Every structure is written in C-alpha cells, then in structure tokens.
Chain A
Amino acid sequence: MLLSVENINVSYGSARVLSGISLNVNQGEMVFVVGRNGAGKTTLLKTIAGFLEPDNGTIRLNGDDIAGVPAEQLVFKGIRYVFQDKRVFTQLTVRENIQLAAFPSREPLDEAIGKVTNIYPKISQFLDSKAGGLSGGQRQLLLLGRALIGNPKLLLIDEPTEGLAAGIIEEVFQILEMMKGQLSLVIVEQNLAAVSRLADRVYAMKEGTIAAELHKSDDIEKHGFLEQYL
C-alpha cells in the first residue's frame, strides 16, 4: 500500500471539518473522491499534501508517518498537489514555470520540458510566453505536466475538469488515462463520467466523513448511488 490514511480528524480553529477519515491508495491505483461542496474533499487533499495538520490519526506514505510534515518536504517524498483553481505563476514564462518545478528535483530542464510536451505537445509553442496568457485549459494541462516532473509517486488533483470546455475535459481524461498505472492518483472530481471511466476505487464524502467506498469490481456506474452524494 502506498498511502494509508487512518482515522484522521481535521479542524479549522474550533470547527471540525473532517471526522474519522480513513482511506487507502495502492501502488498505481487511481482513486476518486466525490461529494458535495463543503463535504471536505479539498481539505482532505490539503491534509495529505501537508498544507494542514490533522488533529489526530495517521497518514502513512510507504509506511512512513507523514502527518504534519510540511508540504515542501513532502514534495521530496514524491507527493505532488495540483490545485483546483488552475493558477500558474502568471508573471513567469511557461519555461520558467517548468524550470521552477525541475530545480528542486534536480531534473534537467530539457527532460522536464519533455514531460510536459509529452502530455501537451502544443505547449512547446508557448514556452517563452508569459503563463498568464494561457487559457484555463492550457494552464490545467501545464499544471498536470508540471506535476509529473521529478517522478512523483502520488499525485493529488483537485477538480481537474472544473470550468473547462468539453474538448479540453476529454483531453484531461485522456491524460489521466495515460497516467493510470504509472503512478498513484487521488482525484477530487464531480464529473461522474470521469469517475466511472477511470476510477479503481471511489470514496464518497458527506459532511466531513467517508460515507461510502466503492471498488471497480462493484461496477461503479451501474450502482448509480454515487449521484446521491453529488
């Protein structure tokens, strides 16, 4: 097992946001987290990524307890986080955005650029343009490509298709499909078509708790009960 979250509680001040969350991710597995707005999905990802510290419980990556380890250190343990709002560093060029991700992992810039162009070939046309000039879809593809720099073990992606045009959503699906099996992913997503097409396992969240867990073998689409959590 790559990631094991056991019984964590997370609070913002005195308000508890996550209660008794447990979740497992195997090597190469693609896990989706679904739920309504405010269910605690993003908080869960931020806690795994080291942005928030759980009140109690454990988060283990390859057996090491990483609960409360700062985000910048978790990057070196192989965790990457792609934010929901598709924000790149707008004042930097696309090349500099990639360079910045390549530097901590000591990955040569050419290889890093290669990883991004591998999933989005057109980005090579914009390497010396300011990233602020990219469309929302292009930014998302850049962020997904950039997250692969440094050979991560676990990718946490928050709502990768939110607010994107239909054509780009399909492109994102294909990229996620391409990633499948190569690394482990935890994806927060509201798009049930994506969930049923790609998920190995689904956790449905409700009011800060895990309300249901489904496996691929459970035939996620046929059950049809995921809708009740969206």
Chain B
Amino acid sequence: MNPARLKALRRFDLPILAVGFVVLGYLLTIQRTTDFIIFCIFVLAYDLLYGYMGRLSFGHMLYLGTGAYAAALSAEHLSGNPFLAIFVAILAGAAIGAALGPIIVRTTGACFALINLAFNQMGYFLALIAFARWTGGEDGMSAFFDKVGPIDFSKRGVVFVFSLLCLLAVVFLMKRLTNSPFGILLRTIKENETRSRFLGYNTFLYKLIAFVISTTIASFAGALSILNYTYVTPSFIDTSRNVEVIFASLIGGAGSIYGALVGGIAYMTISNYLPNYIQRWEMFLGVVLLILVFWFREGIWGYVSRFAGEARGQAR
C-alpha cells in the first residue's frame, strides 16, 4: 500500500472502523464484539499514559473497575437511567484520577508502575471486603437499566451500536488530543521531561491532566461493560488482569491510536479463541511478549506503518 493511499484511508478511518466492527459483529456474536469495542476504549485510555507519556501502569484495572462499580451503584441507589450511570462513572473516574494523580504522576519508571499497582490492590480489597455491603463482595452486583425513550439497553444490538458510537467518539477525541500541542508535549515528556520544562511547561500539571483523562476514559469503558454484562464483580478490578491491557498496547504498538485499536482487537481475538485450541494459552502470550520485546518493539501497527513507507510519527 503506498503512502498516499494510506493517507486517504486515514481520512476515512472512523467509517472504516465502524464498518469493520459491524462486519465483526456478524462474524462473531454481538455481545462479544461489544466486548472487543469496550476493550479497545480501555486500551486507548491506557495508551495515553503508556504510549504517549511513557508511563507504564500496573494498576489501570482500578479505573475500569471504578467506572463499572460507579455505574452499578448509580443504577442501584440513584436511578435506573443508563445515561446517569455513565455520567456518574465518568465523574468517578475523573475524581479518582484527580485524587490519586497528584501522588502518582510525581513518580516515574518502576515507581509509577508499582504505585498504581498498590492503589489497584487497595481498590480490589475495598470492593471485595471493606465495601462488600454495597458492592456485594465476591458475588458482585447486578445492574438493571430503564428504557430511555426508544433506547433499550437490555437489547444487545442497542448496546453494540451505542458502544461503537462511543468508541468512534473516543477515537475522534484522542486524535484531536494527541495531535494538539498537548499531545506533542506528552510525547516530549516521554522523551525528556526536563527539556519540556525549559520550554515553559509545567509538566506536573500536564501529566496530571493526561492522567485524569486516562482514568476518566477507563471508567467510561467500565460503565459500558456494565451495560454489556449487567453485573460487576471484583474481577473488574483484579490486579492480575492489568497484563491484558499492557499486552494489547504492546501487540498493537504503543503511542499510536491505530496501534491501540489493532492491539485491542488482536488481544481479544487471542484471549477469546486461543483457549479453544491451546489449554494453557497464557503461555502463548508469554512467547508473544518475548518476541515483541526482542524483535518487534513497534508492535503490529508500527510495522504496518513502516512497510507502508511512512514515518511512524505521521501514522499517529
């Protein structure tokens, strides 16, 4: 594929993405495809921190789980309105990001990864034990949503279309964000934060904003999961599941919106279908990780871009 054709395709990326997921919906099941879509939103949230800002987090499930529990608690205690539940989840994601961010974004490297893990672990036990009275503990809790006009989220097709629209909106926003001076600055923070400060940027503030955006989008994905499954358990906040989003980001190619989407779809395909053929399929993921780390650090999208003859920066 020549660069001009790839550029033209990129102009129509949102319609192509929509058609792609509709086709996938026909090939797989609607619910499973919705799951793919929601996971892609989660990977996009994660990639803003890891791919763009260069901060590897081992605790992003906390923010997904926060959104899921917030939406379920809203349905249980406030109203059955699904849009209110999503709004509450978004607020909860932003609030937890704003509360933990000032502590977390001061750190880098292993400290950043582990402090996220520590908060994730705390969140897990809060949901499992301390707040079990409200969260249902190990059993989790169900969430049922009212019909709003013609929109009935008990129908899988409606959840699918709504989730797809949400993904398209998130991709659009992320494209605007990452191509703005803010997005450029995040990439410089990844490369050399000190230099960014000498250009007049209060990097702490920008890192905090990026962190809050990331936790908010992750919580949004959590709320959509509740619409799709109508229940939430502590597995939504389980620290061991952080590896899923890290793998997806690496497989697709970190620091690229298309990479996050490709990684999300690739990981979900592997984790959904490989267990049918290989009993200990996680071992396969380990091998994939080794290959990625040693030979394919740019991930699938990075290599597609390179083979298409484009600089990776233009592919973002």
Interface residues in chain A, defined as those with a beta carbon under 8 Å from any beta carbon in chain B: 49, 51, 70-72, 75-76, 80-81, 83, 87, 89-93, 96, 99-101, 103-105, 128-130, 150
Contacts and interface: CB of A to CB of B under 8 A. Distances in A.
B184 A100 contact: yes
A49 B197 CA distance: 11
Contact of B188 (A51, A100, A105, A130): A100
A104 B199 contact: yes
A100 B199 contact: yes
B187 interface: yes
5 contacts: A72-B197, A72-B200, A75-B200, A91-B187, A92-B191
Interface string B181-221: 10011011011101111111111000000000000000000
A101 B199 contact: yes
Most buried by B among A83, A96, A99: A96
A140 B202 CA distance: 24
B191 A90 contact: yes
Interface of B: 181, 184-185, 187-188, 190-192, 194-203, 311, 313-314
A99 B313 CA distance: 15
Given A83-B195, A87-B192, A92 B184 contact: yes
Nearest 5 interchain pairs by C-beta: A75-B200, A104-B200, A103-B181, A72-B197, A89-B188
B103 to A, nearest CB: 20
Given A90-B191, A99-B184, A72 B203 contact: yes
Contacts of A128: 314
Nearest to A79: B198
B9 to A, nearest CB: 19
Nearest to B180: A103
B191 A100 contact: no
B201 A104 contact: yes
A129 B313 CA distance: 9
A80 B191 CA distance: 20
A91 B200 contact: no
A80 B198 CA distance: 7
A103 B182 CA distance: 9
B181 A93 contact: no
